[in-house]
Chain A
Amino acid sequence: MAVTRKSAEPASSAAGAPRRPRRRLFGGRNLAFWYFVGPFLIGLAIFTYIPVGWSAYLSLFDARNTVTPASEDFVGLDNFATMLTDENFRRSLITFTVFALFVVPLTFAASLGLALAVNRVRIMRAFFRSVFFLPFACSYVVASLVWKMSIFTGVRYGMMNTVLEWFGVENIAWLAGNDPPWFWLVIVTLRIWIQCGFYMILFIAALQQIPEQLYEAAYVDGAKPGRQTFWHITMPGLRATSVAVLMLIVIQAYQAFDEFYNLLPNNGNVPYARTPLIYLYNTALGTGQDLGRGSAGALILALLIAIVTLLQGRFLGFGKSEGR
């Protein structure tokens, strides 16, 4: 036995639970633990911890087109300073904020509304659930394709323009530019269509956890069905799920990339609607391949989302999924 192992022994037994005396340190239970957990842990270290560390290192260098910058390219915190003062970076955060202001309440309301309606209907419930969930099978790329080339096509044969024409409205160039910003309608409807079925499933699962007796008791006490029971029984019962769903919608919106890339001109690299990830993608992997600044940006964004998540958790009460 190596010395280090021996010296580790007393420490662990002091801190350890009052368990039966340990068998051999390696072999048996310990060996089993490592061959169960080891492969995953090694992979996690290589593909998550090393990249993040490496990236943090790169963020301190002028690393264009290289992942191994020379020591004279050390620039300290310049990349962070450049990112934070970069007009485009700040605008990308504004774009995200605008996007979130549309997407978060609308997706939340749509998925909750669908869940309540589907849960209430007496026939064809499985059918409705499947239909509203089906868009989840569509990737953002496929949905963008349909939205761009068939529904919100800027020319006459697009579906929306056809419908508008029936009412005598001029054709609208939905995705052409920022004036007026019709593209938001395209992008927001697409995301709601894909996502709300997913969250509806979560809400339905939570609705089914609310005990029936609560409603019965409320009626006995004279509560009116509808608004009163909704606010005093249904919503409190959905609290944990609501918090989780809100967080997921925000985190998803923060990572918006696919539909902006595929719908907007110049692969989404337009000043009026660059999302943080589109910006990051073009900085790190665009023509400049500025991995130093890209890494700095990734770290800043990761920090921001961590803060947003924590604040949201603090503000709404942690989504300790009770009653599951």
Chain B
Amino acid sequence: MLDTKPQRRKPVGYKPGVGSRASRVVNLVGLLALAAVFLIPFYLIVRNALSTTQEITAPEWMWFPTDIQWSNFAELFNDPMVPMARSLWNSTVVAVLTTVGTLFLCTTAGYGLARIPNRFSNHVFYAILATLMIPSAITFVPSFVLVSSLGWVSDLRGLIIPTLFNGFVCFLCRQYFLGFPRELEEAARVDGLGYWGAFWRIVIPNSKGFLAAIGVITFVTSWNAFLWPLVIGRSSDSWTVQVALSTFLTAQTINLPQLFMAAAVAILPLVFVFLFLQRYLVQGVTQSGLKG
């Protein structure tokens, strides 16, 4: 083998020096090209959001708008036909409360199952596992039946509350707490804390990375959800941003720059999540992919 010594930043899974220099260059160039392709949709959102209709539909492809149309932003929010501000607010409320609620319910339940001996804990655990067999999207008819009899259609309660009791997140929490170092809690118990106290003062503060990972992925999923908000959001007051966008997209007359400005606004929060919390998101994906 040629050069096995300089193993500083060795790519795992591939021995350094494996493959010729040429093949590594090909790999890099290929990746750069692919990366460019992957970014095209984002480029198109930005270009179209800041162009005029004439520029978007011009006979010659225009790579960039001649004048950046910031006014599209104001027009989007002033358009009475599209309840953009309202739907953004709804999405924010739904995603934040869903994340907080899911974290609270699933970590407490997961901790209880992992750490507090009880003769029913296996029964409870199997009752939770059984719900994982069926993808949640398919249960939208049954859930709709229940939510509509509670009178929560077109109501944010209907969007939030039924999604909080996430068996999968609870399962992840249980697995995580099973691996949490017992010594820390025992120290707390010696100091006279009960389960509740130990949980909030010791376990939770020492699980920030895990909570962030689960929280971020819950937030992204909730923000991007479409089917359930569509089922529940029967009136425009309760539309989330995804439902509003979809309505806007399938409308008869379309103002292209406004449509893309709406898309840009809709992905902005998640772009921030990606910029600042990507580490946790990756961790969350890895954790949730753990179980098929």
**Contact present for A305 and B220 (CB under 8 Å):** no
6 contacts between A and B (CB under 8 A): A29-B116, A121-B11, A122-B9, A137-B220, A202-B285, A244-B292
Min C-beta distance of B48 to chain A, whole Å: 6
A107 to chain B minimum Cβ distance, whole angstroms, is 14
Contact of A33 among B35, B116, B127, B141 (CB under 8 A): B116
Q: Specify which chain B residues have a CB less than 8 angstroms from the CB of A319 in the assembled complex.
A: 291-292
CB <8 Å contact, A131 and B58: no
Give the CA-CA distance A67 to B145 in the complex, in Å.
Answer: 6
Q: Would you give the shortest CB distance from A298 to chain B, in whole angstroms?
A: 4
For B263, list chain A residues within 8 Å (CB): 142, 145-146
How many Å lie between the Cα of A136 and that of B40 in the bound state? 14
Check if A80 is an interface residue, CB within 8 A of chain B.
no
Q: Indicate whether B167 reaches chain A with its CB closer than 8 angstroms.
A: yes
- Whether the Cβ atoms of A119 and B245 lie closer than 8 Å is no
Known: A39-B105, A41-B124, A285-B231. A139 touches B224 (CB 8 A): yes
Closest 6 CB pairs between A and B? A36-B112, A40-B109, A55-B142, A51-B142, A244-B292, A139-B224
Does A101 have its Cβ within 8 Å of any Cβ on chain B?
no
Does chain A have a CB within 8 A of B242?
Answer: yes
B28 within 8 A of A: yes
Stretch at the interface among B14-22, B66-74, B78-86, B205-213: B14-22
Q: For the complex, is B89 an interface residue (Cβ under 8 Å from A)? A: no
Interface of A is mostly: helix
Q: Which B62-120 residues have a C-beta within 8 angstroms of A?
A: 105-106, 108-109, 111-113, 116-120
B149 within 8 A of A: yes
Contact in complex: B141, A138 (CB < 8 Å): no
Which of B58, B144, B220, B249 sits near A157, CB closer than 8 Å?
B58
A191 → B minimal CB distance (Å): 13
Binding site for B on A (CB under 8 A): 12, 16, 19, 29-30, 32-33, 35-37, 39-41, 43-44, 46-52, 54-55, 58, 67-68, 114, 116-123, 125, 127-151, 156-157, 159, 162, 193, 197-199, 201-202, 205, 207-208, 210, 212, 215-216, 219, 225-226, 234, 241, 243-245, 247-248, 251, 254-255, 257-258, 261-262, 267, 277, 280-281, 284-285, 291, 294-295, 297-298, 301-302, 305-306, 309, 313, 319, 321, 324
Instruction: Point out which of A16, A36, A114, A149 has the most chain B C-beta atoms below 10 A from its C-beta.
Output: A36
Given contacts A139-B224, A146-B44, A248-B289, contact A16 B106 (CB under 8 A): no
Q: Would B139 and A207 count as touching, CB distance under 8 A?
A: no
Determine whether B178 belongs to the interface, using a CB cutoff of 8 Å to chain A. no
Please determine whether A131 and B38 come into contact, CB atoms closer than 8 angstroms: yes
Which single member of B45, B167, B227 contacts A258 (CB below 8 Å)?
Answer: B227
Closest residue on chain B to residue A130 by CB atoms: B278
Interface secondary structure of B, over-half rule: helix
Partner of B105, one of A19, A40, A127: A40
Q: Is the CB of A47 within 8 A of B226?
A: no
Report whether A32 and B116 are in contact in the complex, using a CB–CB cutoff of 8 Å. yes
Name, among A51, A119, A144, the residue most crowded by chain B CB atoms within 10 Å (CB to CB). A51
**Min C-beta distance of A167 to chain B, whole Å:** 14
Q: Within the complex, what minimum Cβ distance (angstroms) separates A9 from chain B?
A: 10
Q: Would A33 and B28 count as touching, CB distance under 8 A?
A: no
Number of interface residues of B (CB under 8 A): 105
Point out the residues of chain B lying under 8 angstroms from A150, CB to CB: 41, 44, 48, 56, 260
**Known A47-B161, A267-B250; 5 more pairs at CB < 8 Å:** A36-B109, A119-B11, A149-B48, A150-B56, A321-B291
Q: Does B137 contact A (CB under 8 A)?
A: yes
The answer to whether B112 touches A51 (Cβ under 8 A) is no
Tell yes or no: B61 within 8 A of A by CB: yes
B137-155 to A contact mask, C-beta < 8 Å, 1/0: 1111111111011000000
- How far apart are A12's CB and chain B's nearest CB, in angstroms? 5
Digitize B155-171: 1 where CB-to-A-CB distance is under 8 Å, 0 elsewhere. Answer: 00000011011010010
Bound Cα distance from A52 to B135, whole angstroms: 13
Which residues of chain A have C-beta atoms less than 8 A from B278's C-beta? 130, 133
Contact A216 B15 (CB under 8 A): yes
Q: Is the CB of A119 within 8 A of B135?
A: no
Q: What separation, in Å, do the CA atoms of A157 and B57 have in the docked complex? A: 5
Known: A133-B282, A210-B12, A225-B19. Contact between A141 and B61, CB under 8 A?
A: no
A145→B142 contact, CB < 8 A: no
> B145 touches which one: A117, A226, A248, A295 (CB < 8 A)?
A295
Instruction: Give per-residue flags for B232-243: 1 if the beta carbon is below 8 A from chain A beta carbons, else 0.
Output: 000000000010
User: With A and B bound together, what is the CA distance between A277 and B231 in angstroms?
Assistant: 12
> Which of A118, A141, A313 counts the most chain B CB atoms within 10 A?
A141
